[in-house]
């Protein structure tokens, strides 16, 4: 309603401004700024000088619309505070760095409906590819991904059917392997401590594989405890205390992630409990944090860096043999026994 006090005299700059300032056509300016096509050195210099002097920043929106090319890769993850995704991101960035592609992160907070809208939002920018965590998505999400017309890589997990490509580990198998190692070390009264999150499918699969392997040995979980929210380290302490009080005869604690496992380890050490003699412990992920603990927690690394790398390579079309899509890459996590499982 009120007239603007400050007139907007500084219109946003366009190619035309640079073109006028340097006395060549817009097309030539465009060519210079993108390093595409032949331009004489003198012209190039003049254009660059003008662009720099004016402080011109190209408008990628217009560029993308005209060229039908967008140098963005959507990366959709459940959470940033997880300690696991930063490393995946590092792998992705490493590979994309010299491809001209740029990752753009979206966070879903483990909510399928949130994921749906993030996918929609991302696709509406017509990215060159999509990387997203997990194989479980709403029907609408699946439909969008299938229609997207760009490479889609589902990461972290391979127990299921991907829309297009997948890079990850089998969490089911990871759970089995850990159970086998624990049983082999002579533990028998085993408890599980983990997240409550109904949508953390990977944790759920690990537990399923774990119980499956126990069953095969004629064993069942002796106890189980769940949490949600709050400081994972603290929750680990609290849950550990609760389980050990409730089931004093438990001799092994299997945690769904390293953070709560670390909390449990600190609790046991503080209580003077003999680890791994009286109680054994194991987590999952292989997070860097563990290196600083008084004792090395048994864990299983989830190949996060490699997962990021490979996913990015698929998007960037860098896979050997020029494989184009529909690739499923299973990585093998390695068990790191640390100091919290008895040696056999």
Residues that bind DNA (CB under 7 A): 12-16, 24-28, 30-31, 33-34, 36-40, 42-43, 58-59, 62-63, 65-69
CB-CB contact of 228 with 195 (8 Å): yes
302, interface contact from a second copy, DNA, none, CB < 5-8 Å by kind: none
Rounded least distance, CB 240 to a second copy, Å: 11
Closer by beta carbon to a second copy, 57 or else 328 = 57
H helical segments located in the chain: 15-22, 26-34, 41-54, 60-67, 85-96, 112-123, 139-147, 171-184, 201-216, 232-246, 258-270, 304-315
Cβ-Cβ contacts under 8 Å for 304 (sequence gap 6 or more): 84, 85, 87, 88, 91, 285
Nearest to 259 by CA among 286, 232, 224, 225: 232
Closer by beta carbon to a second copy, 58 or else 160 = 58
Residues 211 to 230: which contact a second copy by CB under 8 A?
A: 230
* Secondary structure of residue 155 in the 3-state scheme: strand
Among 228, 231, 332, 334, binds a second copy (CB under 8 A): 231
Residues 23 to 62: which contact a second copy by CB under 8 A?
A: 55, 57-62
Task: Kindly state whether residue 93 participates in binding a second copy, applying the rule CB under 8 A.
Answer: yes
Task: Kindly state whether residue 123 participates in binding a second copy, applying the rule CB under 8 A.
Answer: yes
CB-CB contact of 226 with 196 (8 Å): yes
Give the span between the Cα atoms of 328 and 338, in whole angstroms: 30
CB-CB contact of 193 with 265 (8 Å): no
Which one of the spans 124-132, 165-173, 220-228, 302-310 is the region binding a second copy (CB under 8 A)?
124-132
Rounded least distance, CB 150 to a second copy, Å: 10
Rounded least distance, CB 102 to DNA, Å: 15
336, interface contact from DNA, a second copy, none, CB < 5-8 Å by kind: none
Among 27, 65, 323, 328, binds a second copy (CB under 8 A): 65
Burial 243-253 (b: 16+ CB within 10 A, else e): bbeeeeebbbb
Listing DSSP states for 181-224 in one string gives HHHHTT--SEEEEEE--TT-HHHHHHHHHHHHHHHHTT---SEE
189, interface contact from a second copy, DNA, none, CB < 5-8 Å by kind: none
Question: Where does residue 106 rank: exposed (0-12), middle (13-18), buried (19+ CB within 10 A)?
Answer: middle
Give the span between the Cα atoms of 332 and 334, in whole angstroms: 6
Rounded least distance, CB 196 to a second copy, Å: 18
Which one of the spans 177-185, 209-217, 258-266, 332-340 is the region binding a second copy (CB under 8 A)?
258-266
Task: Kindly state whether residue 156 participates in binding a second copy, applying the rule CB under 8 A.
Answer: no
Closer by beta carbon to a second copy, 35 or else 81 = 81
Give the span between the Cα atoms of 344 and 341, in whole angstroms: 9
Give the span between the Cα atoms of 196 and 220, in whole angstroms: 20
Rounded least distance, CB 186 to a second copy, Å: 27
Residues that bind a second copy (CB under 8 A): 10, 12, 55, 57-62, 64-65, 70, 80-81, 83, 85-87, 89-90, 93, 102, 104-105, 107, 120-121, 123-126, 143-144, 147, 149, 230-237, 262-263, 266, 270, 288-289, 291-294
């Amino acid at each position: 309603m009120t007239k603007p006090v400050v007139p907007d005299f500084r219109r946003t700059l366009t190619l035309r401004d640079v073109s006028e300032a340097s006395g060549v056509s817009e097309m030539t300016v465009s060519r210079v700024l993108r390093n595409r096509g032949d331009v004489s050195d003198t012209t190039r210099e003049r254009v660059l000088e003008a662009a720099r002097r004016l402080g011109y920043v190209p408008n990628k929106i217009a560029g993308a619309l005209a060229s039908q090319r967008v140098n963005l890769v959507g990366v959709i993850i459940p959470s940033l505070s997880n300690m696991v995704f930063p490393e995946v991101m590092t792998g992705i960035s490493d590979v994309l760095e010299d491809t001209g592609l740029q990752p753009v992160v979206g966070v879903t907070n483990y909510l399928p409906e949130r994921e749906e809208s993030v996918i929609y939002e991302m696709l509406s920018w017509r990215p060159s590819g999509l990387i997203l965590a997990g194989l479980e998505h709403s029907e609408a999400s699946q439909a969008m991904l299938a229609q997207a017309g760009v490479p889609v890589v589902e990461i972290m997990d391979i127990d299921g059917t991907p829309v297009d490509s997948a890079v990850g580990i089998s969490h089911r198998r990871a759970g089995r392997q850990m159970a086998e190692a624990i049983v082999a070390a002579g533990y028998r009264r085993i408890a599980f401590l983990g997240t409550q999150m109904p949508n953390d499918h990977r944790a759920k699969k690990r537990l399923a594989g774990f119980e499956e392997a126990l069953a095969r040995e004629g064993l069942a979980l002796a106890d189980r405890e769940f949490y949600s929210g709050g400081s994972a380290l603290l929750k680990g302490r609290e849950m550990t205390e609760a389980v050990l009080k409730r089931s004093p005869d438990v001799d092994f604690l299997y945690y769904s992630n390293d953070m709560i496992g670390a909390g449990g380890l600190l609790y046991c050490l503080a209580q003077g409990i003999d680890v791994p003699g009286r109680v054994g412990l194991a987590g999952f992920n292989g997070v860097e944090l563990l290196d600083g603990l008084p004792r090395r927690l048994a864990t299983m690394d989830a190949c996060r860096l490699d997962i990021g790398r490979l996913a990015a390579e698929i998007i960037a079309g860098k896979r050997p043999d020029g494989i184009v899509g529909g690739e499923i890459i299973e990585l093998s996590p390695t068990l790191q026994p640390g100091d919290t499982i008895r040696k056999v």
